C-alpha cells in the first residue's frame, strides 16, 4: 500500500512553484525528499498496532513518504514486500523481521541495489557482514532480566521456598522470544528456589495464550506459582483460563507480562497482574531521523535501544498515566 506519496509529490510541486525565483531561500526551507519502504510483521497485538500508528504519524511529521506493507504474520510476505521496495527504488528500506533466519538473499538484493536497510524492533541472524545498517528496538534481554528480578523480589517478600514457573513464549525464533527467555533464565539461574516447569510457544497471540494456559493448568494444576508471559496479549488470553480453574490471578498465581499496553496496565491496577515490563512501540521518530541520516550519507549508531521501565504491585499503580497503546 502506498501512503502519503501522492500528497508528498503534490506538496513538493507546490513548494517548488512557491519558491521559484526565491533563490537560496527555497533551498534552505525545502524538506529533504525521502521515500521509505517499511514492512510490518502484522497486527497481532496492541503493541504492533501502536507501533504501526507511531511509524505512520512520525513519517508525516518528518515529511517522509512511506510505502507501508503489512505482512500478516508471514515471512514470505515480508520478503515479497522488500523485493517490491527494491523494484520501486525506495531510498531506504526498514522492516521488523518476524523471525531471525532466512533474510540473506533478499538483503543481498537490497545491497546490490545500493539501498540501505534499517532493522526495526527485531534482529536477524546472518553470517554476512553489512546487510543492514542498524537496529532500532528494545533490549529484550534486559526485559527478561527485569521480569526475573521482580520475581526474585516478590519471592523474598512472600517468603517462598520453592517457586514453580510456567513460561508462555513469543513467536519461536523471533528476537523478543529468544532474548526474553534468555534474560529471564540467566537471572533466575542463581536462585535455587526457581524452577521452570515448562516453556510453551504462544506465538504472541491472545488465542494461543488461552490455549497454552489451559494445557498448563490441565498438566500442572495448582503446582503453578508463576506465569511468565512474553507479551500482554498472551497474558490477557491466559487470565480467564486461570479464573475458570477457580484460581485467582495475582494472588494464587503471580502473573508477569511484557509490553505494558493500556489493557494490561488496567488489569495490573485491578490486581490480576503483578508485574508488567515496559516495551515501547514508539520507535517512529528514531526511525525517521535515522532514515534521513542514511539518505544524507551520514553514519548512524549500530544499535539504538529505548529506555524502559517496570510497572508492578510494588508501586502506586494508580499513578501510572495513559499508555497510548
Residue of 50, 144, 176, 237 that binds ligand GYE (CB under 6 A): 176
Of 64 and 119, CB closest to ligand GYE: 119
Position 45 contacts ligand GYE (CB under 6 A) = yes
DSSP 154: H
Residue of 69, 121, 167, 286 that binds ligand GYE (CB under 6 A): 121
Q: Which stretch binds ligand GYE (CB under 6 A): 21-29, 40-48, 53-61, 207-215?
A: 40-48
CA distance 49 to 56: 11
**How far, CA to CA in Å, does 135 sit from each of 141, 245, 283, 290?**
15, 42, 11, 10
CA distance 288 to 295: 10
Are 219 and 246 contacting, i.e. CB atoms less than 8 angstroms apart?
no
Position 208 contacts ligand GYE (CB under 6 A) = no
Shortest reach from residue 92's CB to ligand GYE, in Å: 21
The residue to which cell 521509505 is assigned: 36
CA distance 73 to 42: 5
Residue of 67, 134, 163, 279 that binds ligand GYE (CB under 6 A): 279
Position 47 contacts ligand GYE (CB under 6 A) = yes
Q: Which stretch binds ligand GYE (CB under 6 A): 32-40, 43-51, 65-73, 303-311?
A: 43-51
Residue of 34, 35, 37, 48 that binds ligand GYE (CB under 6 A): 48
Question: Whose CA is closest to 213, among 176, 167, 256, 258?
Answer: 167
Cα three-residue angle 86-91-94, rounded to 5 degrees: 75
CA distance 58 to 135: 17
Are 234 and 241 contacting, i.e. CB atoms less than 8 angstroms apart?
no
Question: Whose CA is closest to 193, among 229, 154, 221, 231?
Answer: 154
Q: How many helices (H) and strands (E) does the chain have?
A: 11, 12
Position 202 contacts ligand GYE (CB under 6 A) = no
Of 91 and 232, CB closest to ligand GYE: 232
Residue of 123, 259, 278, 286 that binds ligand GYE (CB under 6 A): 259
**How far, CA to CA in Å, does 128 sit from each of 102, 177, 227, 299, 315?**
12, 23, 38, 20, 45
Shortest reach from residue 182's CB to ligand GYE, in Å: 15
Of 37 and 176, CB closest to ligand GYE: 176
Position 204 contacts ligand GYE (CB under 6 A) = yes
Shortest reach from residue 72's CB to ligand GYE, in Å: 13
Of 209 and 249, CB closest to ligand GYE: 209
The partner residues of 35 in beta bridges, in order of sequence, read: 65
CA distance 103 to 310: 33
Shortest reach from residue 276's CB to ligand GYE, in Å: 11
Of 144 and 250, CB closest to ligand GYE: 144
The partner residues of 36 in beta bridges, in order of sequence, read: 66, 92
Shortest reach from residue 167's CB to ligand GYE, in Å: 14
Grid coordinates standing for 124? 536477524
Shortest reach from residue 258's CB to ligand GYE, in Å: 6
Residue of 122, 178, 208, 272 that binds ligand GYE (CB under 6 A): 122
Shortest reach from residue 9's CB to ligand GYE, in Å: 33
Shortest reach from residue 231's CB to ligand GYE, in Å: 4
- By the criterion CB under 6 A, which residues form the site for ligand GYE? 44-45, 47-48, 121-122, 138, 176, 204, 231, 233, 258-259, 279
Amino acid at each position: 500500500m502506498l501512503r502519503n506519496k501522492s500528497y508528498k509529490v503534490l506538496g513538493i510541486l507546490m513548494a517548488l512553484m512557491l519558491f521559484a525565483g526565491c533563490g537560496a531561500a527555497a533551498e534552505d526551507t525545502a524538506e529533504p525528499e525521502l521515500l521509505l519502504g517499511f514492512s510490518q510483521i502484522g497486527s497481532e497485538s496492541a503493541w504492533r498496532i501502536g507501533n504501526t500508528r507511531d511509524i505512520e504519524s512520525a513519517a508525516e511529521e518528518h515529511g517522509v513518504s512511506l510505502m507501508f506493507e503489512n505482512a500478516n504474520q508471514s515471512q514470505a510476505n515480508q520478503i515479497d514486500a522488500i523485493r517490491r521496495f527494491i523494484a520501486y527504488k525506495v531510498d531506504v528500506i526498514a522492516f521488523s523481521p518476524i523471525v531471525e533466519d532466512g533474510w540473506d538473499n533478499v538483503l543481498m538484493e537490497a545491497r546490490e541495489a545500493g539501498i540501505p536497510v534499517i532493522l526495526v524492533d527485531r534482529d536477524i541472524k546472518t553470517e554476512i557482514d553489512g546487510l543492514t545498517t542498524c537496529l532500532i528496538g528494545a533490549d529484550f534481554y534486559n526485559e527478561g532480566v527485569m521480569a526475573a528480578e521482580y520475581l526474585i523480589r516478590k519471592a523474598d517478600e512472600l517468603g517462598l521456598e520453592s517457586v514453580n514457573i510456567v513460561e508462555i513464549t513469543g513467536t519461536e525464533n523471533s528476537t523478543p522470544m529468544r532474548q526474553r527467555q534468555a534474560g529471564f533464565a540467566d537471572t533466575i539461574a542463581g536462585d535455587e528456589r526457581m524452577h521452570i516447569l515448562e516453556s510453551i510457544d504462544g506465538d504472541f497471540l491472545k488465542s494461543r495464550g488461552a490455549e497454552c494456559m489451559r494445557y498448563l493448568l490441565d498438566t500442572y494444576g495448582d503446582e503453578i506459582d508463576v506465569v511468565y508471559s512474553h507479551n500482554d496479549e498472551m497474558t490477557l488470553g491466559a487470565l480467564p483460563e486461570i479464573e475458570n480453574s477457580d484460581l485467582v490471578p495475582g494472588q494464587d498465581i503471580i502473573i508477569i507480562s511484557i509490553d505494558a499496553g493500556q489493557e494490561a496496565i488496567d488489569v495490573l491496577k485491578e490486581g490480576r497482574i503483578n508485574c508488567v515490563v515496559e516495551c515501547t512501540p514508539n520507535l517512529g521518530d528514531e526511525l525517521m531521523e535515522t532514515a534521513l541520516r542514511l539518505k544524507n550519507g551520514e553514519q548512524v549508531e549500530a544499535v539504538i535501544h529505548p529506555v524502559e521501565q517496570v510497572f508492578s504491585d510494588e508501586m502506586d499503580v494508580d499513578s501510572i498515566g495513559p499508555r497510548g497503546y
